[in-house]
């Protein structure tokens, strides 16, 4: 491809991208104000008790952080075991108890075809604490040890965040001290593990 043809190709791509933006296409990774308003309306938020909505919105932000962190740990566990044990890591590196519980959850959810499943990967059906058990497994620990300060450190972070997650998931409200601890633990994990 000569230089003019390459320039033309790239320029047409930029123009196409701009034209699509003008049609207000929704980007997958973006949740903007319009999407927020539509969701707000769909769920009837304006009809609920305003004070309870404000408290729930505060906890929704905290939950967002915990949810993203939990899924980040899932990705980390999957990636490390896939790199070191290969495609059969789930069978080879996860206890039968955890595998059975996760597979049972997935089977149960598959029966309810009208509802969105948790995800494509079987690890999405594990509990938050199960991830720690997988990391802690003596055969798996060497793959995680270079990244995790100590198993006790990881245990403290995951158990605390799981406890906070459970409070929020059962419509409870965390105090600011708990919220600050969550932020500190998430930042500590990211700084240590990546």
| CA dist., res. 3 & res. 11, Å (int) | 12
| CA dist., res. 97 & res. 94, Å (int) | 8
Q: Show pLDDT as tens, one digit a residue, over the chain (194 residues).
A: 555 665 566 555 666 666 666 665 555 567 788 888 898 899 999 999 999 999 999 999 999 999 999 999 999 999 999 999 999 999 999 999 999 999 999 999 999 989 988 888 999 999 999 999 999 999 999 999 999 989 999 999 999 999 999 999 999 999 999 999 999 999 999 999 98
pTM of the predicted structure, to 2 decimals = 0.78
- The answer to whether the beta carbons of residues 110 and 159 sit under 8 Å apart is no
CB atoms under 10 Å from CB of 143, counted, come to 19
- The answer to whether the beta carbons of residues 74 and 124 sit under 8 Å apart is yes
Q: In 3D, which of 150, 149, 136, 146 has the Cα closest to residue 98? A: 136
Q: In 3D, which of 117, 88, 87, 92 has the Cα closest to residue 105? A: 117
């Amino acid at each position: 491809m000569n230089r003019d043809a390459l320039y033309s190709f790239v320029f047409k791509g930029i123009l196409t991208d701009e034209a699509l933006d003008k049609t207000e296409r929704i980007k997958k990774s973006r949740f903007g104000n319009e999407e927020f308003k539509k969701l707000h309306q769909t769920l009837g938020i304006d009809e609920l008790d305003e004070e309870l909505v404000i408290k729930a919105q505060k906890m929704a932000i905290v939950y967002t952080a915990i949810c993203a962190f939990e899924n980040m740990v899932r990705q980390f566990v999957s990636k490390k075991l896939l790199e070191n044990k290969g495609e059969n890591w789930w069978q080879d590196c996860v206890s039968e108890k955890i595998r059975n519980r996760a597979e049972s959850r997935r089977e149960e959810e598959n029966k309810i075809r009208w509802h969105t499943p948790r995800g494509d990967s079987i690890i999405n059906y594990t509990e938050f604490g199960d991830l720690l058990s997988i990391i802690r497994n003596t055969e798996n620990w060497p793959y995680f040890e270079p990244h995790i300060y100590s198993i006790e450190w990881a245990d403290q972070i995951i158990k605390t965040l799981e406890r906070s997650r459970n409070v929020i998931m059962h419509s409870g409200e965390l105090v600011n001290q708990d919220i600050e601890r969550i932020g500190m633990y998430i930042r500590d994990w990211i700084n240590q593990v990546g």
